[in-house]
Amino acid sequence: MNKFCSIFSQILQLFPRFEFQQLVKETRAERHARGFSCWSQFVSMLFCQLGRANSLREIAGGLRSCEGKLKHLGISAPSHSTLAYANEHRPWVLYQQLFLKLFDRCRAQVGVGKKKFRFKNKLMGIDSSIIDLCLAIFDWAHFRRTKGAIKLHLILDHDGYLPSFAVITEGKVADVKIAKQLKFDPGTIIVYDRAYIDYELFGRWTAQGVYFVTRMKENCLYEAVGEREVPKNRNILKDEMIELRGYKALEKCPFPLRRIEVFDPETEMILVFLTNNLDLGATTIAAIYKDRWQMEIFFKAIKQNLKIKTFVGTSPNAVKIQIWTALIAMLILRFLQLQAKFNWSLSNLLALLRLNLFTHRDLWAWLNKPFETPPVPYEPEQLRLNFA
């Protein structure tokens, strides 16, 4: 007698069906649907990510081979043509809203004890990554004359390093154009690289009480208006107050900024940082930018472990659905990794999870002790009737 449903079913419990159906109604995703529900489509696409299926036929065949174990998931195995039609026509906005709901739930359960820095400000990272596509097949994804691509713009919450929001655009869209459309709460610290440098954006965020930390461009014109004390026995070479100069620079950003020079002993280079935060120490500013490397680690992890470089559909809607499902799967994996007592690496967690998706065990007991023999379920003895 099984006391638990499958591990895949327990993972899907992170998505309450009532909330899911509300999102389906709000996005009108099941309009003109005939038999194949949005829940079945979502479970199929999540199986594509966690089971690493390479095509629609592998998704349909993999689920059909487990047909006897799908009843508790609330679905039946779809045909590959039905799934292809749903991915092409049903709105990808449903998966975006589902991702945001899951992020709020995971962030509430991760807790406050995971913070790396002492300051109370929210630390967020912004970056983007190019996903190459074949222009002959994805003729809508224009990037260069003979090359197609899309770009994934991502905001990473450094409390647990959870992806908090994403924007998917064509590959030629500039990073700073997306950054100007984003809004952050006052007191938030944004860390990013030099691709997002824009004086108007500096002035807007400073006026809104949003802090930023970035690298300074070598051709940046400025004037030093003051100098701050440099901490001793640190790699800080200079900490000075500056004002931007150049064509309309002071008009776009009329606020004083900090320019910090740091010597990196690993590369033996001098790094120059620019920030509008006047309270944190120079060493903390350097450590904040160093933590930006987690963005690169995230992009590397999602491209290596999930289905985001090859796609099971060719339309823009199908591509966006698969990318949003990959972000949902990444959020699930990071959440399980943070909650587990076992020291999982992301790749090992996904590999063993793929092998045990339809195993009937307690998810959290398996996460904490994955190599322990499962307990034998208790089977009560049949009572004998005395007919004498």
Looking at the domain assignment, is residue 107 inside a domain? no
Mean pLDDT of 111-128: 80
pLDDT of residue 374: 66
Same domain flag for 317 and 268: no
User: Are the C-beta atoms of 211 and 189 separated by less than 8 Å?
Assistant: yes
Looking at the domain assignment, is residue 54 inside a domain? yes
Among 266, 281, 296, the domain boundary falls at 281
Write the DSSP symbol of residue 194: G
Same domain flag for 321 and 258: no
**217 vs 67: which has the higher pLDDT:** 217
User: How confident is the model over 174-211, as pLDDT tens digits?
Assistant: 999 999 999 999 999 999 999 899 999 999 999 999 99
**Band of the pLDDT at 159, cuts 50, 70, 90?**
confident
pLDDT of residue 3: 64
User: Are the C-beta atoms of 263 and 235 separated by less than 8 Å?
Assistant: yes
Q: What is the dihedral of CA 172, 52, 107, 5, to 10 degrees?
A: 160
Q: Which residues contact 380 (CB under 8 A, 6 or more apart)?
A: none
pLDDT of residue 153: 95
Q: What is the chain's mean pLDDT, rounded?
A: 88
Looking at the domain assignment, is residue 114 inside a domain? no
Q: Which two tokens stand for residue 138?
A: 């994805």
Give the containing element (helix H, strand E) for 167: strand 162-170
Amino acid of residue 38:
C
**387 vs 339: which has the higher pLDDT:** 339
User: How confident is the model over 260-276, as pLDDT tens digits?
Assistant: 999 988 888 999 999 99
Looking at the domain assignment, is residue 71 inside a domain? yes
Mean pLDDT of 285-304: 93
What is the domain range of residue 59?
7-95+313-368
User: How confident is the model over 210-242, as pLDDT tens digits?
Assistant: 999 999 998 889 898 888 888 888 889 999 999
Amino acid of residue 233:
N
Looking at the domain assignment, is residue 146 inside a domain? no
Q: Which pTM does this prediction carry?
A: 0.89
Percentage above 70 pLDDT, the chain: 94
Measured between alpha carbons, how far is 187 from 290 in angstroms, rounded to an integer? Answer: 20
Measured between alpha carbons, how far is 259 from 273 in angstroms, rounded to an integer? Answer: 6
Same domain flag for 17 and 78: yes
Give the containing element (helix H, strand E) for 166: strand 162-170
Same domain flag for 18 and 90: yes
148, with CB counted inside 10 A (0-12, 13-18, 19+), is buried
Looking at the domain assignment, is residue 213 inside a domain? yes
Give the total number of structural domains in the chain.
2
| Bridge partners of residue 224, in order along the sequence | 242
Q: Which two tokens stand for residue 266?
A: 């690993």
pLDDT of residue 105: 87
Among 240, 263, 281, the domain boundary falls at 281
Percentage above 90 pLDDT, the chain: 56
Q: Which two tokens stand for residue 159?
A: 């409390």
Q: Is the pLDDT of residue 1 over 50?
A: no
Measured between alpha carbons, how far is 248 from 253 in angstroms, rounded to an integer? Answer: 9
Closest CA to 90 of 39, 55, 50: 39
Rg of the chain, C-alpha, whole Å = 25
**Band of the pLDDT at 114, cuts 50, 70, 90?**
low
Q: Is the pLDDT of residue 355 over 80?
A: yes
Looking at the domain assignment, is residue 105 inside a domain? no
